[in-house]
Amino acid sequence: MHKGKIMNDRLDLQYFKKRLMKRQDYLLNAKNRGRNENEPIELDQARMGRLSRMDAMQQQAMSQAAAHLTNSELRRIKTALHLMETGDYGYCVNCEEEIAEARLKVDPSILTCINCARASEEK
């Protein structure tokens, strides 16, 4: 798609790679610490009152939603690291335009330019 040399001149790839790897390590460690939060809720009324079960089920649903977001971010990080290897990091995966460096500094795992991100939000 794009020449890696151009990307290397425009962006400090080591800076972004370091941030991506650090975030990936953090997410993987957090994911490993929270594994038992996704276990099934026991529905034995003798051991737990109705409101406590409902609260536990709500907590489990929130934990599952957080796990989904974590997995999504981990996939974006993996893709961003792969794009670095191919020389395509910093280009929108939809339109292939450059992603603004300031946007990447906010989140180095961003895969789309601001215009494509806005367009997808409007759908």
Instruction: Tally the domains of the chain.
Output: 1
| Chain mean position to CA 77 | 6
The answer as to whether 44 is a domain residue is yes
The answer as to whether 66 is a domain residue is yes
What's the chain's average pLDDT?
84
pLDDT score of 37: 52
The answer as to whether 107 is a domain residue is no
The pLDDT of 89-118, averaged and rounded, is 95
The answer as to whether 65 is a domain residue is yes
The answer as to whether 121 is a domain residue is no
pLDDT score of 5: 44
Residue 100 reports pLDDT greater than 90: yes
The pLDDT of 68-72, averaged and rounded, is 93
The answer as to whether 113 is a domain residue is no
Residue 36 reports pLDDT greater than 60: no
Show the CA angle centred on residue 103, arms to residues 98 and 108, nearest 5°. 90
pLDDT score of 48: 57
90 contacts: CB under 8 Å, gap ≥ 6: 7, 10, 11, 83, 98, 99, 101, 104
Range of 77's domain?
4-90
The answer as to whether 21 is a domain residue is yes
**Pair of tokens at residue 105:** 């500094």
The answer as to whether 20 is a domain residue is yes
